[in-house]
Chains A and B, each alone.
Chain A
Amino acid sequence: AQTVTQSQPEMSVQEAETVTLSCTYDTSESNYYLFWYKQPPSRQMILVIRQEAYKQQNATENRFSVNFQKAAKSFSLKISDSQLGDTAMYFCAFMKPFRSGNTPLVFGKGTRLSVIA
């Protein structure tokens, strides 16, 4: 079974600074997908960024980027120019290959990020 570990329960960052959230995972699959989801106080789950394991290039979405290290099974999220609206719980999640027939996400426990003015 796949497991996802987020070792930082809470983090804080000054507005406009950069912060990195860590995630490691365990799997025997060679192809899979990794995600970062954001959950603000509104409770809504919002997809931040996605990485396909077969791609060597790290995914980037505006101020959000990942550092994907497949051999180390590491998938960290970097948030640049942090904004107050980035304050939220961030969840790392794993998905097996879509056509394998089992597509639910496996989530880590989350990291609570506070952006301080």
Chain B
Amino acid sequence: NAGVTQTPKFRILKIGQSMTLQCTQDMNHNYMYWYRQDPGMGLKLIYYSVGAGITDKGEVPNGYNVSRSTTEDFPLRLELAAPSQTSVYFCASSADLEQFFGPGTRLTVL
């Protein structure tokens, strides 16, 4: 099992550009999550999904969109990137209590 994989590992965007952060899990987990981690801070929830076709907002959803067309994939879309979106983004999945995290994507918006 590869677990949770995220691509890309690093990305630099210009203000106003858009991009999609990819997340895939091969553990057949129903629950998937997107968190962001700002410097010196804990992780904050952006969006989550309880199954294919179902998504819901977390604490900091503004500026992001998600979709969940399959159990395996949970991409995060950034539209009109802003410097405030500079952060490390983590995807996670779970079947029950334990969440498994991907390695993260470091995004810089200049």
Q: Does B75 contact A (CB under 8 A)?
A: no
Q: Is the CB of B33 within 8 A of A104?
A: yes
On chain A, the residues within 8 Å of B12 by CB distance are none
On chain A, the residues within 8 Å of B58 by CB distance are 104
Q: Does B2 contact A (CB under 8 A)?
A: no
Q: Is the CB of A105 within 8 A of B104?
A: no
Q: How many residues of A contact B (CB 8 A)?
A: 22
On chain A, the residues within 8 Å of B42 by CB distance are 4, 91, 93, 107-110
Q: Chain B contact residues (Cβ within 8 angstroms of A): what range? A: 20 to 34
By secondary structure, the B interface counts as strand
On chain B, the residues within 8 Å of A104 by CB distance are 33, 45, 48, 58
Cα distance A47–B50 in the bound complex, in angstroms: 21
Q: Is the CB of B97 within 8 A of A109?
A: no
Distance in Å: Cβ of A86 to nearest Cβ of chain B: 19
26 contacts between A and B (CB under 8 A): A4-B42, A44-B101, A45-B43, A45-B92, A50-B97, A50-B98, A91-B43, A95-B97, A98-B96, A98-B97, A103-B31, A103-B48, A103-B94, A104-B33, A104-B45, A104-B48, A105-B43, A105-B45, A105-B99, A106-B45, A107-B42, A107-B44, A108-B42, A109-B40, A109-B42, A110-B42
Contacts from A to B (Cβ < 8 Å): 4, 9, 33, 42-45, 47, 50, 91, 93, 95, 98, 101, 103-110
Nearest 7 CB-CB pairings of A with B: A107-B42, A45-B101, A104-B45, A107-B43, A109-B42, A43-B104, A104-B48
